[in-house]
Amino acid sequence: MTAIEYRKVCKQFTGSRAYALQSVSASIEEGEFITILGSSGCGKTTLLKMTNRLYEPDSGEILLFGEHIGDKDPVELRRGVGYVIQQVGLFPHLTVEENIGMMPGLLKWDRERIAVRVTELLTLVGLEPERFRGRYPSQLSGGQQQRIGLALALALDPKVMLLDEPFGAIDAITRLNLQNELLRIHGGLGKTFLFVTHDINEAFKLGNRVMIMNEGRLLQFDTPKNIVQRPADPFVETLIRSAREQETFWEAVT
Ligand SMILES: Nc1ncnc2c1ncn2[C@@H]1O[C@H](COP(=O)(O)OP(=O)(O)O)[C@@H](O)[C@H]1O
Ligand SMILES: [Mg+2]
Confidence (pLDDT) at 247: 83
Q: Are both 3 and 68 inside the same structural domain?
A: yes
Of 107-111, 137-141, 250-254, the range with the lowest mean pLDDT is: 250-254
Instruction: Report which ligand 1 atom has the smallest distance to the Cα of 44.
Output: 22
Q: Are both 38 and 126 inside the same structural domain?
A: no
Confidence (pLDDT) at 169: 87
Instruction: Report which ligand 1 atom has the smallest distance to the Cα of 49.
Output: 17
CA distances to 102, 171, 225 from 8, rounded to whole Å, are: 36, 37, 26
CATH for 55: 3.40.50.300
Tell me what the mean pLDDT of segment 227-243 comes to: 94
44-92, pLDDT tens digit by residue?
999 999 999 999 999 999 999 999 999 999 999 999 999 999 887 899 9
Q: Are both 25 and 60 inside the same structural domain?
A: yes
Please provide the average confidence, as pLDDT, over all residues in the chain: 95
3-state secondary structure at position 58: coil
Q: Is the pLDDT at 250 greater than 90, yes or no?
A: no
Confidence (pLDDT) at 193: 98
Pocket perturbation via mutation, ligand 1, pick of 10, 13, 24, 215 by most ligand atoms within 8 A of CB: 13
Confidence (pLDDT) at 91: 94
Confidence (pLDDT) at 157: 95
Instruction: Report which ligand 1 atom has the smallest distance to the Cα of 43.
Output: 17
Q: Are both 74 and 196 inside the same structural domain?
A: yes
Task: Report which DSSP code applies to 43.
Answer: S
Q: Are both 52 and 4 inside the same structural domain?
A: yes
Domain count, the chain: 2
Q: Are both 135 and 146 inside the same structural domain?
A: yes
153-209, pLDDT tens digit by residue?
999 999 999 999 999 889 999 999 999 999 999 999 999 999 999 999 999 999 999
Q: Are both 210 and 250 inside the same structural domain?
A: yes
Phi then psi dihedrals of residue 160, to 5 deg: -125, 140
Query: Is 184 within the bounds of a domain?
Result: no
Q: What percent of the chain has pLDDT above 70?
A: 100
Q: Are both 91 and 48 inside the same structural domain?
A: no
Continuous H helices in the chain? 44-51, 74-79, 96-100, 102-106, 111-124, 129-132, 142-154, 172-189, 200-206, 224-229, 234-253
State the ligand closest to the CA atom of 49: 1
Pocket perturbation via mutation, ligand 1, pick of 14, 36, 46 by most ligand atoms within 8 A of CB: 46
Confidence (pLDDT) at 85: 93
**In terms of residue numbers, what domain contains 136?**
81-157
Q: Are both 2 and 73 inside the same structural domain?
A: yes
Confidence (pLDDT) at 176: 94
State the ligand closest to the CA atom of 14: 1
Q: Are both 164 and 73 inside the same structural domain?
A: yes
Query: Is 176 within the bounds of a domain?
Result: no
Q: Are both 165 and 241 inside the same structural domain?
A: yes
Whats the size of the chain, residue-wise?
254
Residues with CB under 6 A from ligand 1: 13, 16, 20, 38, 40-46
Q: What angle do CA 107, 129, 117 make, to 5 degrees?
A: 25
Q: Are both 164 and 127 inside the same structural domain?
A: no
How far is Cα of residue 108 from the mean position of the Cα atoms in its chain? Answer: 27
- pTM for the structure as a whole: 0.95
Tell me what the mean pLDDT of segment 98-114 comes to: 96
Confidence (pLDDT) at 88: 79
**Which residues are within 8 A (CB) of 22 and not within 5 positions of it... i.e. 6 or more apart?**
10, 215, 216, 217
Query: Is 151 within the bounds of a domain?
Result: yes
Instruction: Report which ligand 1 atom has the smallest distance to the Cα of 47.
Output: 17
